[in-house]
Structure 1
């Protein structure tokens, strides 16, 4: 059964959720996981795509936007995909959800990471938490401090 981790950030700066998502994706990739990062919109997916190249000096996370434009060879070699809306067209074990809604396809992943930052985000996160809890999913809660600069 899918395990769901809620990461509640103390950091409320611009792009705090997206920056944390990049750090989480980088860590999971280094542990040899395949990851799907689900954005709320195509525009957010493109912003996260760009941020994965620049979020930290010296970082490298092989990734691509989820689209039909990837050829089979490149698609097979890309462990991190970013998309929005539709179900991803590849198998991954971790779903990083940046949408404020629970994606309908969440249960096909071994783990789901829900990232929460700021008061505006907490109400939607509470709804997602209840959704998972009411269906019997294993839930974990992580309080994340403000990163050092």
Structure 2
């Protein structure tokens, strides 16, 4: 089964928290597909991944770009780059996760609706047999495993 990691963002917005997790995936030579619920979020992430650091960027493409990259941004359930890792943001609903080594679910820890939706995802994925873990963001942006 797929390992599913839930990340509760409490001290940084998605545009700051996501790049560090994507860098870890690239260090492991994993391809990644990032799925958001809305095209506007994909556009914001597209911009953020080019500019998140003065001395680095994350190679990526988005729906409609026509190029295959190590990181793919989408609103669909497709896996156009043969990714090993699926990242879900903004309440995007996971597709069948069987073909992925890992799935990362990032959610706003200050949003009650996001918390409720994430709890439901946790129950569903755990009952489907996936190994689930929960990580909370510390004030310095690091992740601490809570469950």
Whether TM-score is above 0.5 comes out as: yes
TM-score bucket of the superposed structures, by smaller chain: 0.7 to 0.9
Equivalent of residue 79 in structure 1, options 54, 70, 81? 70
What's 2:31 paired with?
34
Does 1:125 find its partner at 2:118?
Answer: yes
Flag structure 1 segments of 5+ consecutive residues without an equivalent.
Answer: none
Cα distance per residue 1:71-126 (max 9 Å; x no partner): xxx42xx2111010342323100111104143223332110001122332211111
**Secondary structure of the corresponding residue to residue 98 of structure 2:** helix
Q: CA RMSD in A?
A: 1.8
**Secondary structure of the corresponding residue to residue 44 of structure 1:** helix
**Greater fraction of residues in helix:** 1
What's 1:108 paired with?
99
Flag structure 2 segments of 5+ consecutive residues without an equivalent.
Answer: 142-147
Alignment of 1:1-149 (within 5 A): 1-11=1-11, 16-67=13-64, 69-70=65-66, 74-75=67-68, 78-120=69-111, 121-147=114-140
Aligned partners of 2:6 and 2:105 also within 8 Å: yes
Which aligned runs of 4 or more in structure 1 are off by greater than 6 angstroms? none
Alpha-carbon distance in structure 1 between the residues aligned to 2:104 and 2:17: 11
**Secondary structure of the corresponding residue to residue 114 of structure 1:** strand
Deviation at 1:50, TM superposition (A): 0.4
**Secondary structure of the corresponding residue to residue 33 of structure 1:** coil
Deviation at 1:6, TM superposition (A): 0.8
Deviation at 1:137, TM superposition (A): 0.7
Deviation at 1:20, TM superposition (A): 1.0
Tell me how many residue pairs correspond in the alignment.
Answer: 139
**TM-score, with length taken from structure 1:** 0.83
